Structure 1
């Protein structure tokens, strides 16, 4: 599982937390956050590339005319 369960968070808050434990928890969520940004940017890039490709094909089909 990517996201820790509520039980994990509850247990985490109950015990005396050390700096390393907090670092690990922040690291988990930071990794998930950066992965989401990476995936989102890749999807955006893919669609932008597709739009440019379709633009180019339209340009070729229209014989150099561009709107």
Structure 2
């Protein structure tokens, strides 16, 4: 059985409030090892994108000089 609209609206308001509180306080959403793992993966993705951009730039420069 589905929830009445009022209850859904209340739970949505609560979730939004919690999210806003987490953003404004110094306590983050991720703490400890989980945060470190998230940051490591995020940093690795950014690094990989930079490497791919350099490879792509080098390949396009080489093809332009050969033409």
What is the TM-score of this pair, normalised by structure 2?
0.55
The equivalent residue for 1:14 is none
- Alpha-carbon distance in 2 for matches of 1:49, 1:61: 18
Show structure 1 runs of 4+ deviating over 4 A. Answer: none
Alignment RMSD: 2.5
Aligned residues: 43
Unaligned runs of 5+ in 2: 1-21
- Describe the SS at the equivalent of 2:66: coil
The equivalent residue for 2:64 is 61
> Is 1:40 equivalent to 2:63 in the alignment?
no
- Alpha-carbon distance in 2 for matches of 1:56, 1:39: 26
Q: Deviations over 1:24-64 (max 9, x none)?
A: xxx93101000000000000000000000000000100007
